[in-house]
Structure 1
Amino acid sequence: ENRDYAITVQSDIVEGLQGATVTNELLPKLKEVEAKWPLGYSIQVAGAVEESSKGQGSIAAGVPIMLFITFTLLMLQLHSFSRAMLVFLTGPLGIAGVAGALILLGRPFGFVALLGVIALMGMIQRNSVILIDQIEQDRAQGIPAWDAIVESAVRRVRAVALRAAAGVLATIPLSRSVFWGPMAVAIMGGLIVATLLTLLALPAMYAAWFRVRRE
């Protein structure tokens, strides 16, 4: 870079560790060494860690556009700002499951895990659309709003649970991978927690939003 002379030091890491983890442990010690060097000499991190940082930056730049497109599609599907907003707000419900699964299994939250969180939000919102759509269908048939909320949640338990189970089972083979493991673990933990919260929290949010009271 800038036509400066450079010495590249690289190595493999033991199985089960991530490059970012090793870098974070070594970098403070390397900075101590760098401080003793003459002016003009420096230590720079490159390789997979550098590319991961660039990838996270590109994702962060595209997040506003992604959120706008997602909300627009929900509006087109549900034909209602209020219902689209309810579904949109269920996206972060799996964050607790993601954090718990990563901590429990000792996986780092890096670029790959971030990709899993983005995919997870789409899965959660898809399940929420199923539940909201069932409530609206029941209300259109003349069922009282409170009964429609309760009965829809009960009837859609199987559909939502099976979709979540399919997603969890599909990621199990990747969970042991050093590279893709954090993404798989994030999706698994997030889906399990988000499925339970969706079936409980979303009906409550719907009732509160539209001020539905038990008759």
Structure 2
Amino acid sequence: YLALSGHSAGIAPSTDAREGTPIIPRLPVEHRASVEALLALPVATATGPQPLGRFVRVEEGVRESSRVRKNLRPAIYVTGDVAGEIESPVYAILDMNRKLDAVRIAGAEIARYNAVQPDRLDELAMKWDGEWQVTIEVFRDLGLAFAGVLLLIYALVVGWFQSFRVPLVIMAPIPLTLIGILPGHAISGAFFTATSMIGMIALAGIIVRNSILLVDFIQLAQARGRPLADAVIEAGTVRFRPIALTAAAVVVGGLVMVLDPIFQGLAVALISGAVVATLLTMVVVPLLYWELARRDTNGNYIGRQKNGVGGSDETAADHLQRIELTTGAATA
């Protein structure tokens, strides 16, 4: 048994994988590939080494193979493990799917299933199972949880601002997190895993909080009589520091996990998503709110007096220019 199958004698450290390589001493292939080679194996006896063929007799026969079925259907199990540079099953199976696209058996393509079992007996099919099945279920559940979080956030913001459109402005930066998360994973070489999805869900709440700070400041400034254009500009100026500090806190917290093999995706998603989405939020949310507010008040016309811009036909650009001139005169 030891000559043919070997036995683990230890673990050798590996430079390209997190787990070591087992050390299994056994005979070379040429000494265990034929019956004659096996019969010639020396066996220790009292009179010295003797060939194994002196003590055994070879009989040829046919042994029935085991028949495996799943859900009363014939099945063949092929198992394997992922190791090396790519340890995430997602990337490995996607690569194997590309190679299986070129495989034809009797001129037919192999049908592949991911979440369900094959339901036909007249086709050659395979189903990815094991860790891939777990991965699909986790991403599915997290996707549903993300959708539920978005609905809950929308309901809460609607209740606070008493508007059905303002929450859309507040939640607009949530998709912008992908602009940071996906390139962040590509640059860092981290795999997009379930923990990355958890980071996306966590970022949704953080980004919405930043948007609420901006919109709430704009509305409070308008309530005090500030023009819409001034309120939008002041919101970006005054609220930039607390929003930037929030992003910095997220980055510092993510740095603690960035080297962890399990939570690396969470850290990369939080860091890259928070930085990029915060910068875009400071631009997108004020602009969207300004556009929404001016249309609600004056139809398709920019900056009428009801918006707080001086003069019945004065545009927002004229108003901002007047502010700059007034500021320059006051400074002089």
Q: TM-score per shorter chain, which class? A: 0.7 to 0.9
* Greater CA drift, 47-56 or 128-137: 47-56
Letter in 1 for 2:71: N
Residue 92 of structure 2 corresponds to which residue in structure 1? 22
- Please give the residue correspondences for 1:159-178 in structure 2 after superposition, counting only pairs within 5 Å: 159-178=242-261
Give the greater-gyration-radius structure (CA): 2
- When you count strand as a share of all residues, which structure comes out higher? 2
Name structure 2 gaps, 5 residues minimum.
1-69, 111-121, 295-301, 304-315, 320-332
Matched, 1:143 2:226: yes
**Equivalent-residue separation in structure 1 for 2:99 and 2:178 (angstroms):** 33
Q: Compared with structure 1, are the counterparts of its residues 120 and 40 closer, same or farther at alpha carbon in structure 2 (3 Å cutoff)?
A: same
Cα root mean square deviation, aligned: 2.8
Letter in 1 for 2:175: P
Q: Compared with structure 1, are the counterparts of its residues 61 and 196 closer, same or farther at alpha carbon in structure 2 (3 Å cutoff)?
A: closer
- Please give the residue correspondences for 1:98-137 in structure 2 after superposition, counting only pairs within 5 Å: 98-137=181-220
SS of aligned partner of 1:116: helix
Q: How many residues are aligned here?
A: 214
Residue 181 of structure 1 corresponds to which residue in structure 2? 264
SS of aligned partner of 1:133: helix
**Equivalent-residue separation in structure 2 for 1:84 and 1:140 (angstroms):** 19
Letter in 1 for 2:273: G
Tell me: higher relative CO, structure 1 or 2? Use CA pairs within 8 A at least 6 residues apart: 1
Alpha-carbon distance, 1:132 to partner = 0.9
Alpha-carbon distance, 1:64 to partner = 4.3
CA contact (8 A) 2:258 2:268 kept: yes
Counterpart selection for 1:86 from 162, 169, 193? 169
Alpha-carbon distance, 1:63 to partner = 4.8
Residue 285 of structure 2 corresponds to which residue in structure 1? 202
TM-score, structure 2 normalization: 0.57
Name structure 1 gaps, 5 residues minimum.
none
- When you count helix as a share of all residues, which structure comes out higher? 1
Residue 160 of structure 2 corresponds to which residue in structure 1? 77
**Equivalent-residue separation in structure 2 for 1:93 and 1:118 (angstroms):** 13
TM-score, structure 1 normalization: 0.84
Alpha-carbon distance, 1:170 to partner = 0.7
Alpha-carbon distance, 1:6 to partner = 5.9
Q: Compared with structure 1, are the counterparts of its residues 16 and 31 closer, same or farther at alpha carbon in structure 2 (3 Å cutoff)?
A: closer
**Equivalent-residue separation in structure 2 for 1:20 and 1:172 (angstroms):** 25
**Equivalent-residue separation in structure 2 for 1:108 and 1:34 (angstroms):** 31
Alpha-carbon distance, 1:155 to partner = 0.6
1:187-211, CA deviations, whole angstroms, 9 ceiling, x for partnerless residues?
Answer: 2111111111111121111111111
